[in-house]
Chain A
Amino acid sequence: DAGVIQSPRHEVTEMGQEVTLRCKPISGHNSLFWYRQTMMRGLELLIYFNNNVPIDDSGMPEDRFSAKMPNASFSTLKIQPSEPRDSAVYFCASGGETQYFGPGTRLLVL
């Protein structure tokens, strides 16, 4: 298995632009998680899905952030409009009680 796949690996954008991060979970995993890692806050859970349904989005920082999981093999995290403080590494993970992480997307908002 290829593991969790994330794209793009790096994204540089300007403030105000829309950013879309993509994730393909491991086949057969029912749950998908989006995390953000920053120096200040560490690794924090943004949202997670179970069987493609959002279960807990309490970690989503504000309305500028949205996530979708249209099917079992694909999820997106969108930031619109992006701000410099959104600069971070965004990880997608799949699994259940034990989660398997993708390589992350390093986002820089100028």
Chain B
Amino acid sequence: DQQVKQNSPSLSVQEGRISILNCDYTNSMFDYFLWYKKYPAEGPTFLISISSIKDKNEDGRFTVFLNKSAKHLSLHIVPSQPGDSAVYFCAASVYNQGGKLIFGQGTELSVKP
């Protein structure tokens, strides 16, 4: 039972355009969501998070949107840069339950110059 799903294994975007990465979850108890970015041969790097009391959180070029009724979140990167090419994982947890994260399978983003 996969509680966090990223249905697109890969995404290709032109430099300067918007990248939109999607994530769906099934467990309505999840109330804290995170995005991580991973380069080859490195560990995942925290990118941005959002609590379920919000529907949007923005940090520079990165914005995360949360639609609780649809159990869906998305990460927008604007404008996309070649250095953004990496695998992006979404993760979910129940806040104040020890930080146990459930990860999606990841989406490989390729930003072409």
Identify the A interface with B (CB < 8 A).
Answer: 4, 31, 33, 42-45, 48, 50, 55-56, 91, 93, 95-104, 106
Instruction: Kindly state the separation between the CA atoms of A70 and B61 in the bound complex, as whole angstroms.
Output: 41
List, in ascending order, chain B residues with CB within 8 A of A56's CB. 98, 100
Return A31 CB to nearest CB of chain B, in Å.
Answer: 5
Return B46 CB to nearest CB of chain A, in Å.
Answer: 6
Instruction: Determine which of B32, B41, B105 lies in contact with A97 in the assembled complex, contact meaning CB atoms within 8 Å.
Output: B32
List, in ascending order, chain A residues with CB within 8 A of B60's CB. none
List, in ascending order, chain A residues with CB within 8 A of B102's CB. 45
Most chain A CB inside 10 Å of its own CB: which residue of B34, B36, B95, B101: B101
A100 and B103 within 8 A (CB) = no
Contact with A along B82-110 (1 / 0, CB 8 A): 00000001000101101111111110000
Instruction: Kindly state the separation between the CA atoms of A49 and B49 in the bound complex, as whole angstroms.
Output: 22
B45 at the interface (CB under 8 A from A): yes
Q: How many residues of B contact A (CB 8 A)?
A: 23
A91 and B98 within 8 A (CB) = no
Inter-chain pairs besides A33-B99, A48-B99, A103-B42, 11 sampled, C-beta below 8 Å: A42-B103, A42-B105, A43-B103, A44-B103, A48-B100, A55-B98, A56-B100, A93-B43, A98-B34, A98-B49, A104-B43
Instruction: Kindly state the separation between the CA atoms of A52 and B99 in the bound complex, as whole angstroms.
Output: 15
A99 and B103 within 8 A (CB) = no
Identify the B interface with A (CB < 8 A).
Answer: 32, 34, 36, 41-46, 49, 89, 93, 95-96, 98-106
Most chain A CB inside 10 Å of its own CB: which residue of B43, B102, B103, B104: B43
Q: List 19 A–B pairs whose Cβ atoms lie within 8 Å, in order of A's numbering.
A: A31-B98, A33-B101, A42-B105, A42-B106, A43-B44, A45-B100, A45-B101, A48-B100, A55-B98, A56-B100, A91-B43, A97-B49, A97-B93, A97-B95, A98-B99, A99-B101, A101-B44, A104-B43, A106-B41
List, in ascending order, chain A residues with CB within 8 A of B96's CB. 97
List, in ascending order, chain B residues with CB within 8 A of A99's CB. 46, 99, 101
